[in-house]
Structure formats: C-alpha cells, structure tokens
Chain A
Amino acid sequence: MPDNWSFVIAAYAIAAVALGGYWRRLVRLERDVERRNARPRRPR
C-alpha cells in the first residue's frame, strides 16, 4: 500500500486545529469574564 503521507498530515493538522481552536476559545472566554468583572457594577 502507498504511504499516503498527505492523509497522515491532514489527520494531525485537523486534530491540531480543533484542539488549538478549543484552547483559544477558553482563553477568549476567560478574557471576556475578566473584562466583565473589572467593569464597575451599577448600584441596584
């Protein structure tokens, strides 16, 4: 069977994009929460 390196690279690349993308999402959400908490609250 031919080695099909392109398939190997595609599989690893998709895994890296998905897992890296999730990590970036967590970083972005944390930054949003920090920004929201830093804003002064309006008195009720």
Chain B
Amino acid sequence: MTRVLGWLAAAGLVIGLVMAFVIAPREVTQGHVQRIMYVHVPTAWVAYLAFAVVFVASIVYLARRSATADRLAHASAEVGVVFTGVTIASGSIWGKPTWGTWWTWDARLTSVAILFIMYLGYLLLRGMIDERERGARYAAVLGIIAALDIPLVHFSVYWWRTLHQPPSLMKPGGASTMPAPIVAALLVNLAAFTLLYAYFVARRTRLLARQQQALA
C-alpha cells in the first residue's frame, strides 16, 4: 500500500511538473516567476493538512491513549515541518522578484514563521523526553495548542493589511478568478503533494512502530 502511494505520488509530481511548465500559460503580470506558485501553494496546503492531522490525532491520543494516534501525530508533525520549510523558502524566493525583498514581517509571513517554530519545538519536545508516555502526553497538548495558529495563518491576509496576496483558491464565499489552465495545474500539484504527504506519513508511522518495537 505504501509502495503504491509512493509510485502514485511520483507519477503525480511528474504530471504536476508538466502541468506547471508546459500546460499552464505564462502569467501576464509576473511572467514565468509565477510558476513558483505550483510548488508554494501545494506545500502550504499540505502543511495545513499535516498540522490539522496532528491536532486531531493529539485529541484522540489524549482521549484514548492510542499509540497509533501518537505515532500518526509525530509522523505528521515531522512531515509538516518539512513542507512548511519548503513553503517559507519558496515564498521567500518568489518574494524577492515580485516584492523586492526576501522577507518582511507582515502578518502572513510572521504567523507562518511562528507555526514553523512551534512545530519544531513540538519535535524537540518529543526528542527531549525519554519516557514515551509522558513525552506523548506533553506533545499532544502542544500539538493542540499549536494548531490554533492555522486559522490565524489562513485568515491573516483578511484580518491585517499584508503584502501577501489573499488565497488563490480557498477564498471565503468566492470562486477563483484564475484562468482554467492555471487552476488545473494548481489542482494537479495539490493532489500530487497530498499523495506525497500521505506516502511520507505512512512510511514514517510504520518506521516509528518498528523503532518502538526494537526499543521494547
């Protein structure tokens, strides 16, 4: 199953690249640099998804003390941190030619940086506590608290005046105004990166189970 997910993700990423560089047209205002969107937006979406999974799995862990839920939260947080890092890096690279700066402390960028640091802290916390049950409990509490930043990140572009543009797809109460080939390329890449997330989490979760068995 994991292997199938991996191959599906690889195929999806290849198709996504073709969509991003061949099918999607050159954007009129920004030129080809807009093609960064096809990696920046999907990785941001996966980061939201990953931390939402941490939130739900943490609640399940605290309610039922399920080791599976704990492993899922741990794996999802780790993968989420990787994807958030890619989101920040690709956004910074996109920002330089379009805004004239690599970084600015606007509400969207700052809230994403806080999200990144909180989940890094989550992983550090897990690594610091040797006693598995106690580490899992503390991490679950932090996983729930840190997830409160997700709506802040998403709605920051509406609640504050920001340099960052509003969401491309998930606009509250409004359809996208982007041309169909751009939307299609974005959706294919969203699906491909989501598959990659599922593959990484499945593999990491299984690995955590084997590591715990080896230590037991």
A1-39 contacts to B, CB under 8 A, are: 1-5, 7-8, 10-12, 14-15, 18-19, 22-23, 26, 29-30, 33, 36-37
B187-204 contacts to A, CB under 8 A, are: 196, 200, 203-204
A1-B31, A26-B200 as given contacts; A37 in contact with B210, CB under 8 Å: yes
Q: Which residues of A contact B (CB under 8 A)?
A: 1-5, 7-8, 10-12, 14-15, 18-19, 22-23, 26, 29-30, 33, 36-37
The number of chain B residues touching the other chain, given as a range, is 20 to 34
User: What is the bound-complex CA distance between A37 and B31, given in angstroms?
Assistant: 53
A10-B93, A18-B85 as given contacts; A1 in contact with B29, CB under 8 Å: yes
Q: Which of B93, B204, B207 has the most CB of A within 10 A?
A: B93
User: What is the bound-complex CA distance between A30 and B211, given in angstroms?
Assistant: 9
A11 with B207: CB separation less than 8 A: no
User: What is the bound-complex CA distance between A4 and B196, given in angstroms?
Assistant: 28
